[in-house]
Amino acid sequence: MSQHKIFRQFFDKVSCTYTYLLADLTNKVAILIDTCQDCVQRELKTIEELKFEKIFLLSTHIHADHITGNALIKEHLGQTRSKSVISKYYEQAKADEKVGEEDSLSVGAFKLNFLHTPGHTSGCLCIVDHENRRVFTGDTLLIRGCGRTDFQGGSSEKLYDSVHEKLFKLPPDYTVYPAHDYNGKTASSIGEEIEFNPRLSKSKAEFVDIMSKLNLAYPKLIDVAVPQNLNCGYADKLTNGKSNGNHAP
């Protein structure tokens, strides 16, 4: 039987966040990447319309600019129909499953691999779909930009290395799908970002200097979003959970 697969890109106007849906309609399973609490009803409507029997809720990183919708989706669907997945490189994070570079995730017709790309935060993961030649880069690599590096274990040096040693080693035709865009762009490619990214096409020293001079404001939602997102979006505070984080410029 041939697989009936779909791909959707959703957008939250408030936080300028992209949420991605990868779905296998034949097996009635789906993956949601980087959900937003304010958009949960949109996702739930899609889930019910397409009659998915199981949803995997992936987060590329601990967001500081919005609260993940994973908890609300799990509360609505129940444990048997939903599973949250997050980076194992966040020791305090809670989820049904934690994954790292050595892991892969098979959901119906999809097989996803992971790259640990610290720099924006210490635990960032990029999600690679080799069969469909695309990568979901979170805030590590944006379209002609990147996430800030001054919160939540961030490091300009590590971000530069993550991009150049891992993401820029992917084939140039791989489509780049970021977690945010603030200028109406929906996608890019590895080859485009190697050539045209105004920050990451520079030398490492130039990149570090650029990042040190951004002078960005303290993210408005960081003190609420980070502790809650460490807890899969649930409002109960984590023991020892400190509120610090970041937001892509």
Q: What is the pLDDT of residue 2?
A: 53
Query: What does the block give as tokens for 82?
Result: 């939903």
Mean pLDDT by 10 residues, the chain (249 residues): 84 96 97 97 96 98 96 96 98 96 97 98 98 98 97 96 98 98 97 98 98 91 95 70 33
CB 108, CB 27: distance < 8 Å: yes
* pLDDT computed for residue 218 by the predictor: 84
> Residue with structure tokens 């274990």?
153
pLDDT of residue 219: 84
The pLDDT value recorded for residue 248 is: 36
> Which structure tokens are listed for 155?
């490091």
User: Which fold would CATH assign to domain 5-223?
Assistant: Metallo-beta-lactamase; Chain A (3.60.15)
pLDDT digits (tens, 9 = 90+) for 135-166: 999 999 999 999 999 999 999 999 999 999 99
Residue carrying structure tokens 């949250």: 84
Which pLDDT does position 244 carry in this prediction? 31
